[in-house]
Amino acid sequence: MKTLLKFTIILIIPISAISQDKLPDIDVKDLKNRTVNLKSDFSEKDKIYVFSFWATWCMPCLKELEAINEHYDEWSEELNMELVAISIDDSRTKKRIRPLVNGRNWPYTVLHDENQTLKRALSIVNIPYTLVVKNNNIEHIFNGYSQGSEEEMYKSLKKL
Amino acid sequence: MVIVKVLRKRCINLSRNYKLQLLFLILISAYQVAAQEQEQEKDYGRLYGGIESNLNYYMKDSGLGVLQPEEPFRSNNYFNLNYTYKRLTAGFQIESYEPNALLNYNPKFNGTDFGTYYIKYQSEKFDVRLGHFYEQFGSGLILRAWEDRALGINSALRGGRIKYSPNSNFDFTLLYGRQRSGFEVTDGDIYGFDADIFLGEYLNLYEKGQDLSLGFSYVGRYEKVDFENANFNELTNSYSFRFDYIYDSFYLNGEANYKEEDGIINSQGNLSNDFVEPGHAFQLNMGYSSLNYGIDVTLRRVENMQFLSEREPQTFPNSLGDVNSSLDFLDGILNFVPALTKQHHSQLANINVYQALSGVSFLDPELMGAGETGGQIDFFYSFEKGSTLGGEYGTNISINLSSWYNLPGTYTFNPPDYDVDFFGVGNKFFHDYNIGLTKKINEDWHIGASYIDQFMDYRFIDGREIVNADIIVADATYNFTETKSIRVELEKMWSTGNRKDWVGGTIEYNLNEKFSFYVWDIYNYGSDKPDERVHYLNFGGSYRKGRHRIALNYGRQRGGLVCVGGVCRFVPESSGFSLSFNTSF
C-alpha cells in the first residue's frame, strides 16, 4: 500500500509538467475505408480541430454530439473549426456507425478506431473524451460530458 | 516454510518495486532535461502515457449475504509510458494489482510487473515492432489481440510484427508471437499474415460513387500435442476472406472464415482426440442510409469457432473449493466472437445478457450446440425540425431487433458428434427487440424513452430456466443553467424467470462541468426467494478537470455478468467503496 502511494506521488507530481501536447502519428480509417493520418490530414494552419471520441453504445457521447450539432453551423462558420468524431466501436457494434451517423444527420467527419490503437496511444480510459487541436498542438482536453458542457467547450474555442 | 515463501515473495516484490521507481525517476529526469533543452528548439523526442487506478474496499453486508473478503482492500493500477524520438518509439505498461486484484479478476493478475513493453520503428511505408502488440484481422473472427481493463482482458501478442504499406492501396501485416496470459505468455506459437487491398483507385470506382476493398488473413497456431496418434495437426491453420463494397448510400460487406480440424475440448476442459471437427464462420452485412434515416442488416453463422492460443484451458482452484478455468477469465482466447445484440445503457436491460455461443458445447443429452446462427436489424430515423413529430428541435428514434438460434441438425451425446445444416435455425437462444426515442423539448428539457422485449434460454448457459422479459425506461434531463442540470431515469422490468421483476431509478445532478453526483437503486421486489428481494443502492460523484477524472462510489454490486462490447465477465455480489482515477500526459 505504501509503495503504491509512493508510486502515485512520484508519478503525479511531474505529470502537469510533461503533458503530451502533440497528436500521435497514427492512421485510422474513415467510413469509406480510406486511410487518414491523424497528424498530417488535420493540419490546416490556424484551423481548430475538435476530436471527439465516441461509440454508438455510449449515451453521453451521443448527447454531446447531438448538442454540438445544434450549434455546428454557427460555430464552424464563426470559428473556422471542424469536428472529427472518432468511433471506438468494435466489430460488435461498428455496423451501427454508418446508419446512426446518417440517421441523425451529423455533419461531422467520422473516423473509426476499431481495435482502439489511437485511443490507447492517447491513454483514453473512458469516453466521451474530446481533444481540441490547433496547429497540431493539443490545446484542451475534456474528459467526460454532462448536459450543457458543450458551452464550456465553445468558450474555450473562442479564446484560441 | 510458508513464512519463508511469503518473505521471498515480498523480497521479489520489493526489488521489483525499487527497480520500477528507479526507472521512473530516470525517465522523468531525462525528460525534464530534454524539455529544458527543447526550449533551444532541439528535437529531444516526446514522452507520453497515462495512468488508471481503480481501488476498492469491500465490506461485509449481511443484507446481501456477503462476507468481507480476506483482503478487503484491492486495487488494479495501470501506468503506461512511451517515448518517441524521430522514427523510434519505445514504451511499456506497468500493471499493479496490490495487494490483490479486484474480485474475480484473473488470478494470474497478481503483484506488480511489466504487463507489456515494445520498441517500434515507423517510416512512411514500414512499421516494425518488437515486443507486445495488439492486432485485429478483419472483424476479429480468427484473430483479435486486445485490451479491455474492465473485463480483465489483455491478450496482446509478444513477438514481432511488420506492417508494410507500399502505397495507399495496400496494407500488409506479418506477425509472430505468443499470447499474453497474466504476466506470462501461453505455450502456443501464433503466426499471422493479413492483406488489405483497396481497389477504388485502380478500378476508377471513386468517380462512380463506388468503392471496393478486399481482405485476406491467415492465422496459424502451433502447439505440441501429447496424443500418440493424434487425429489432428499440431499446427492449426485458419483463413479468412472479406470484401466491402459501397455504392453511394448503399453498402454490402461479408466475411468467410475457416479453421482446420482440431480436437474439441469438453465441458470439463479436456482435449479430445476423437471428437475432431473443423470450424467456420460467415458474416454478411448490408445497409442503406440517407439523410434522416439509416438501416442495417447483419446475418452471421458461427460453427465450432472457439480458437484458443493453448488448446486446453488452464484451471485454478478458487476460494469456494471449486475449480475455475482460464476461460472463465476470458484468458487465452485468440479470436473475437461478440454477441451481435444491442448494448443497452439501462441497468435492468443488462441483467439478461446474451453471449455468443462460438464453440461446441455438450452439457447434457438435451443441451447440445455447435455454434449459433441469426441476425440483427437496426433502423435509425430522425423526424426533422418543424415537422409534426419532430417539433421545434427534431426527434430521433432507433429500432433494433436481434434473434440468435442454435444450429439445426443432429447431435449425438455419446460418443460426441454432430451433423448440422448450413441453412435454417435450431431452437432459439435469445432475442432482443427494442425501440428508443430521444427528443429535445426546448432549451431546458431533454427526454428519452425505450421499450425492450427480451427472451433468453439460460439452459444452455448454466442450466437455469427460460426467461421472457419486458423493460420500459424513461429519462428526462432539466437544465437549471447552461451547465447545471439534473437527470432522472426510471426503469421497470417484468420477467418470467431469473429473479423475476425489478424496478430501478437514477438521479444524476451535474453541479457544473466539473462536478457530478448521482444516486441509483435497483430493487428486485419480485423475486420468489425472500433473501433476493434486495436493493442495490449506490451513490457517488465524479470530478473532472481537463485530462483528469476522479470518481468515488459507495454501494452494492449486483452479482452477474459485466459486459463490454458483447463480451462478459462474471462478478460476484459485493458491497463497499470504490475510487477510480485516470489521466494522460
Interface of B with A in 541-580 (CB under 8 A): 542, 544, 546-549, 565-566
When comparing pLDDT for B408 and B323, which is higher?
B408
Q: What's residue B39's pLDDT?
A: 47
Q: Which ranges constitute the DSSP H helices of B249-294? A: none
On the question of pLDDT at B27 being above 60, the answer is no
Q: Would you state the pLDDT for residue B25?
A: 52
Please name which of B576, B511, B582, B521 lies closest in space to residue B551, comparing C-alpha atoms. B582
Predicted confidence at residue B437, as pLDDT, reads 95
Closest CA to B344 of A104, A58, A125, A101: A58
The pLDDT of residue B32: 52
Confidence check: pLDDT of B192 > 50: yes
Q: What is the rounded CA–CA span in Å between residue B110 and residue B497? A: 37
**Tens-digit pLDDT profile for residues B483-539:** 899 999 999 999 998 889 999 999 999 998 889 999 999 999 999 999 899 999 999
CA-based nearest residue in chain B for residue A154: B482
pLDDT given at position A119: 93
Quick: pLDDT tens for A71-96: 999 998 898 999 999 999 988 888 88
Q: E strands of B291-359, at which residues? A: 293-303, 315-317, 323-325
With a cut of 80, say whether residue B565 has pLDDT above it: no
Q: Summarize pLDDT for B285-321 with one digit per residue, the tens.
A: 999 988 888 999 999 999 999 999 999 999 888 766 7
Average pLDDT over residues B42-46: 78
What does the pLDDT read at residue B20? 52
CB nearest A143 (choices: B82, B479, B548): B548
Contacts of B92-95 with CB under 8 Å at 24 or more apart are B92/B116, B92/B117, B92/B118, B93/B117, B94/B20, B95/B183
* pLDDT: which is higher, B25 or B344: B344
Contact predicate B449/B469, CB 8 Å: no
CA atoms in the 13 A half-sphere facing the CB of B228? 0
- What is the reported pLDDT for A144? 87
Residue contact A17–B79, C-beta within 8 A: no
Instruction: Check A99 against B296: CB less than 8 A apart.
Output: yes
Chain B residues 389-408 with CB within 8 Å of chain A: 393, 396, 398
Q: How far apart are CA B414 and CA B399, in angstroms?
A: 43
User: For residue A39, how many C-alpha atoms fall within 13 Å in the half-sphere facing its CB?
Assistant: 11
For A57-90, b where at least 16 C-beta lie within 10 A, e where not — what string?
bbbbbbbbbbbbbeebeebeeeeebbbbbbbbbb
Distances (CA, A) of B270 to B160, B210, B266, B323, B332: 31, 50, 6, 14, 15
- Whether B97 and B123 have beta carbons less than 8 Å apart is answered as no
Residue type, A76: S
- 3-class SS of residue B369: strand
B13 pLDDT above the threshold of 50? no
Taking CB atoms and an 8 Å limit, are A140 and B584 in contact across chains? no
**A91, A114, A145: which to substitute to probe chain B, counting the most B Cβ within 10 Å?**
A91
* Chain-centre distance for alpha carbon B435: 24
> pLDDT (tens digit, 9 = 90+) per residue, A138-159?
999 998 888 888 888 999 999 9
Residue at grid coordinates 455461443: B357
DSSP 8-state class, residue B481: S
B479/A4 Cβ within 8 A: no
Answer yes or no: are the C-beta atoms of B534 and B63 closer than 8 Å.
yes
- The interface pTM score, or ipTM, of the predicted complex is 0.85
Q: Which residues fall within 8 angstroms of residue B130, CB to CB, at 6 or more apart?
A: B118, B119, B120, B159, B160
What's the whole-number mean pLDDT along residues B203-218?
92
Average the pLDDT over B570-577 and give the result: 88
SS3 of residue A122 by DSSP: coil
Set of cell numbers at residue B181: 496470459
pLDDT at position A160: 84
Interface list for A 87-106 with B (CB within 8 A)? 90-96, 98-105
Mean pLDDT of all residues in B373-383: 94
Q: pLDDT tens digits, chain A, 160 residues: what are they?
A: 555 555 555 555 555 455 568 888 888 988 888 889 888 899 899 999 999 999 998 888 999 999 999 899 999 889 899 999 999 998 888 888 988 898 888 999 999 998 899 999 998 988 999 999 999 899 999 988 888 888 889 999 999 8
Cell matching residue B368: 447440445
User: For residues B291 and A74, what is the distance between their CA atoms, to the nearest angstrom?
Assistant: 20
Cβ of B140 and A99 within 8 Å? no
pLDDT over 90, % of chain B: 68
Under a CB-based contact definition with an 8 Å cutoff, are residues B289 and B277 in contact? Answer: no
DSSP string, B93-151: EEEEE-SSPSTTS-TT--EEEEEEEEEEEE-SSEEEEEEEE-EE-TTSSS-EE-EEGGG
CA distance, residue A92 to nearest chain B CA (Å): 6
Identify which has the larger pLDDT, B76 or B572. B76
Confidence of residue B425 (pLDDT cuts 50, 70, 90): very high
| Percent above pLDDT 70 for chain B | 91
Q: Looking at residue A2, what is its pLDDT? A: 52
B245 touches A at CB < 8 Å = no
User: Which chain A residues are Cβ-neighbours of B77 within 8 angstroms?
Assistant: 4, 7
Hey, what's the cell of A101? 451517423
Q: Which residues of chain A are within 8 Å of residue B476 when distances are taken between CB atoms?
A: none
Has residue B564 got a pLDDT over 70?
no
Strand partners, B523: B503, B535
Q: How high is the pLDDT of residue B388?
A: 83
Mean pLDDT rounded to a whole number for chain A: 85
**Any A CB within 8 A of B377 CB:** no
| CB proximity list for B110: less than 8 A, separation 6 or greater | B97, B100, B101, B182, B183
Better-predicted residue by pLDDT, B322 or A93: A93
Cβ proximity of B300 and B282 under 8 Å: yes
Mean pLDDT across chain B, nearest whole number? 89
Cα–Cα distance list, B183 to B6, B52, B119, B151, B156 (Å): 19, 18, 18, 16, 11
Residue B390 scores a pLDDT above 60: yes
| Whole-number Cα distances in Å, A107 to A72, B326, B560 | 8, 45, 40
pTM confidence score: 0.88
Q: Do A102 and B24 touch (CB under 8 A)?
A: no
